[in-house]
Amino acid sequence: MREIVFDTETTGLDPLTGDRLVEIGCVELVNRIPTGATYHCYFNPERAMPSAAEAVHGLSDRFLADKPRFAEKAAELLDFLGDDKLVAHNARFDFGFLNAELERCRLPLVDLERMIDSLTIARTLHPGAKHSLDALCSRYGIDRSHRVKHGALLDAELLAQLYIELTGGRQIGLGLVAEAQIVVGTSAAVLRPAMAGRAPRPPRPFFPSEAELARHAAFLDKLDNPIWRDGVA
């Protein structure tokens, strides 16, 4: 099962009033295990960056001036996303901006049926608690000491760890990550068990040997009317 955990940075809060997407970061999971495959891109928003937004993510007009426009990278991004489920924190915000950009490019929108909102999961598991990414990382012991400002890829990497914890924790992988080989293609990575190709282990017998039966009978002979002999001829 392939899932993409993603995060966005924007010029503001509402794409319907002209705010634009300026950064996207995506992390690929296969069977809830990070494969190492990621997608990350900055975009020139073709408008000025409000100071309030720049204070959050640190992306200035000067930094973004030479970055590609969303339309130039849309096909590449959609190829990475594929048709798989998309995980985001407060997902309607990120889906709203992603679909607004796709609509500007006259490309098909991402179906909301693909949306998994980790914020909704967190609210269900921890009602009444704080549900920000920072608060949840602290709750689950996820190191975020390197997070000085918001960054789409960094936040997607943190969210991937959090999503794994919210949906069952590391035991999902059953400790088999070290025994798997990650094969990375152009935009996707697939986990292949390292044991593939090994000769199957011969079946283990689960019935007692003649020697074990004899030892058991000798043990029963030492007991006074053992119940284990009830019904035995």
| Residue 229: per-residue pLDDT | 66
When pLDDT is cut at 50, 70 and 90, the band that residue 54 belongs to is very high
Q: What is the mean pLDDT of residues 60-89?
A: 97
Q: What is the DSSP string of 31-64?
A: TTEEEEEEEEEE---SSPPPHHHHHHH---HHHH
**Bigger pLDDT: 10 vs 170:** 10
Q: What percent of the chain has pLDDT over 90?
A: 67
Q: What is the mean pLDDT of residues 40-51?
A: 96
How many CB atoms are closer than 10 A to CB 94? 25
Please list, residue by residue across 134-167, b when 16 or more beta carbons sit within 10 angstroms of its beta carbon and e when fewer do.
Answer: eebbebeebebeeeeebbbbbbbbbbbbbbbbbe
Answer yes or no: are the C-beta atoms of 23 and 154 closer than 8 Å: no
Give tens-digit pLDDT for 130-187: 999 999 999 999 988 776 667 899 999 999 999 999 998 765 444 444 443 433 333 3
In the chain, where the domains are located: 2-193
pTM confidence score: 0.71
| Residue 224: per-residue pLDDT | 80
Q: Which CATH architecture has domain 2-193?
A: 2-Layer Sandwich (3.30)
Catalytic residues: 150
Give tens-digit pLDDT for 96-121: 999 999 999 999 999 999 999 999 99
| Residue 148: per-residue pLDDT | 62
